[in-house]
Structure 1
Amino acid sequence: MQYITGFEHYREDAGTAVTLGKFDGLHRGHRKLVERIMEHVEREPDLKSVVCFFEMTEFKKMRHLDQKRLMLNEERAIRLEGKVDYLIECPFLSVKEMEAETFIEKILSGLFHARYIVVGENFRFGHDRRGDVAMLAKFQERYGYCLEVIPNEYYGERIVSSTYVKEVMKTGNIDLVNRLLSYPYTIAGTVQKGAGMGREIGYPTMDIYPCQEKILPPNGAYVCKLHVDQEWYQGVCNIGQKPTVSKGGETILSVHLFCYEKKEEANGKAVVLHLYHYLRPEEKFEDVEELKCQIEEDIWEGKRHFLLTMESRRALLESETKKQKKN
């Protein structure tokens, strides 16, 4: 996959299947759009798949809006790597004043040579958001593309949207967040050397300082996995300020892995964290011994979570195998 910032750096001459949006979180609804353009490329190998996302940071700064995001740009690239041909970052301010039909003519047709345009039913674009799916449908014949409008994805009675995911995130229900996203909530970062308190009490941790723009669930303990040294390791993590052993300050992700023996070698390494399950709120303990007892309980609960998950998958596989034999 090629990650390109700005339309001026896109040089592909082939026709494309393209989808557009903010794609904050790449939730289940977004996934349907991406999968659809991938299907077009599978059927027509001469096409290129393009995901074009509008980068809103500068616009939000200018409007003094909340800049917190479910997904950082590098995390989006990690999620789409190996799936699409191009991930295009379009600074929203560069197209904010462009008339909707001009966007169709200059960008979708002229630049992307779009043969298929895949969008959600609420997609809007162009100056004052005047462009919509009706306009895209109207100009199909003139500009030679086929429009596909993908219906909203629902979870119960709610439309799956970045706004809904953010609402759930505030409650700490990471299990539901993951169901809405269709993958574990992801935080990319770099391991930084800590004070070594975890090793002193028998539970070494890796400290990760998340980007300030990254939306985090409430402070507390979570079941997690960490990708480091090209392997995934199970563990538990605390999100917060370590109130028992520090005076507070920045939010830190302190990760303890069950079976990782090279913690000291991890400093400075880029890692990817997956959150799976909320265990408890962060709290300040009376002393280190009380903290150690709680960490032991967290580790037990974390291992239990992964064991139950594995058993559930095994039971599902056995059930599916029995059904196939009957058929």
Structure 2
Amino acid sequence: MLVFRGFSRPAPAPTVLTIGNFDGVHLGHRALLRKLKDHAAATGLMPAVLTFEPHPREFFAPDKAPTRLSSLREKLELIAAEGIDFACIGRFNAALASMDAEAFVERLLVDALRVGHLIVGDDFRYGAGRRGDFALLETLGRRHGFTVEALGGVQQDGLRLSSSAVRHALADGRMEDAARFLGRPYVIDGRVVRGQQLGRHLGVPTANIRVKHRRPALGGVYAVSVDGLPDGPHRGIANIGYRPSVDNTTRALLEVHLFDLDRDLYGAHLSVRFLHKIRDERKFADLDALKHQISEDLLSARQYFTH
């Protein structure tokens, strides 16, 4: 997939385009991307996505913005996996936030992205003050020579699929629900970095992965499956959080212990699939209490994979 940052270069070909944040790329997003790809195949247009970094809500209210389900890299990889040929990343800043709806369409969609057909969710809003709506898109499409299509929300078990629904499931530890909404287990990718060797001291060596998201969408201890090693996938156990029993760090850390595997993993890029929540992260009185709980957690994780 070809990726452009910003709008200084026009798209390499006329596009069938969709716009959104695509956080987590859940089944609703994937239905939209399939629609995009089908239209591209029928018309010869290039399937393209416009997304924004940072998330607009992070720009307007960073302290109240939702947790991220996926990093930009993870999101682009998931979009590419759906067969999309081109993605444009628009930097969401003051200039973009103040751009009126007509300029948004003319400068970004028409001039930069060469839109021939636009597919958006039925609740899509754009432009300063979110003034732009579907009716205005249709009017501007007739003026600039592109067509517009609205796609209704996708439902599962009577619930409209959304990034918020995935976040709620993860926060509640409902990993099976999150996997159903996503169409796959929830995954965090990252590179293994050097840690304090505490896990090895406790008899449970871990691969330490710095979490890219400012606030992870989940926390606690989980049974996981890990890809990224040549002889994988590997089963294991992971803790994601702030290590209150050790150093109470302000930046979340993902620590992964792979069953029956003890080798140097520094520098490896791993994909950690969260399958089942064992417990919340909590502070222990001392390292002996922590070590005892880790033994219980390991047993719970192995029992999950057994049953």
Structure 2 match to 1:222: 222
Deviation, 1:197, is: 3.6
Distance (whole Å) between structure 2 residues aligned to residue 173 and residue 126 of structure 1: 36
Structure 2 match to 1:290: 292
Structure 2 match to 1:52: 50
Flag structure 1 segments of 5+ consecutive residues without an equivalent: 309-327
* Structure-2-length-normalised TM-score: 0.86
Larger % of helix: which? 1
| Pairing 1:189-268 to 2, within 5 Å after superposition | 189-218=190-219, 220-229=220-229, 231-242=232-243, 246-250=246-250, 251-262=252-263, 264=264, 266-268=265-267
RMSD: 2.6
Secondary structure of 1:81 counterpart: helix
Distance (whole Å) between structure 2 residues aligned to residue 195 and residue 203 of structure 1: 13
Change over 3 Å in CA distance of 1:113–1:261 after alignment to 2:
same
Distance (whole Å) between structure 2 residues aligned to residue 195 and residue 18 of structure 1: 47
Deviation, 1:17, is: 1.0
Deviation, 1:295, is: 3.7
| Counterpart check, 1:272 vs 2:274 | no
Change over 3 Å in CA distance of 1:10–1:65 after alignment to 2:
farther
Equivalent residue letter for 2:174: N
Report the more deviating stretch, 280-289 or 100-109: 280-289
Equivalent residue letter for 1:92: F
Change over 3 Å in CA distance of 1:129–1:196 after alignment to 2:
same
Structure 2 match to 1:20: 19
Distance (whole Å) between structure 2 residues aligned to residue 160 and residue 272 of structure 1: 24
Equivalent residue letter for 2:295: C
Structure 2 match to 1:314: none
Deviation, 1:64, is: 4.5
Deviations 1:199-236 (A, max 9, x none): 34443221112125242313x22121222235432222
Distance (whole Å) between structure 2 residues aligned to residue 212 and residue 50 of structure 1: 25
> Is the Cα–Cα contact under 8 Å of residues 243 and 249 in structure 2 kept in the other structure?
no
Aligned residues: 299
Change over 3 Å in CA distance of 1:289–1:104 after alignment to 2:
closer
> Is the Cα–Cα contact under 8 Å of residues 71 and 214 in structure 1 kept in the other structure?
no
> Is the Cα–Cα contact under 8 Å of residues 233 and 259 in structure 1 kept in the other structure?
no
| Pairing 1:3-152 to 2, within 5 Å after superposition | 3-12=3-12, 14-44=13-43, 46-56=44-54, 60-61=58-59, 63-67=61-65, 68-82=67-81, 83-93=83-93, 94-152=95-153
Report the more deviating stretch, 3-12 or 235-244: 235-244
Equivalent residue letter for 2:91: P
Flag structure 2 segments of 5+ consecutive residues without an equivalent: none
Structure 2 match to 1:321: none
> Is the Cα–Cα contact under 8 Å of residues 98 and 127 in structure 2 kept in the other structure?
yes
Distance (whole Å) between structure 2 residues aligned to residue 207 and residue 19 of structure 1: 36
Equivalent residue letter for 2:298: E
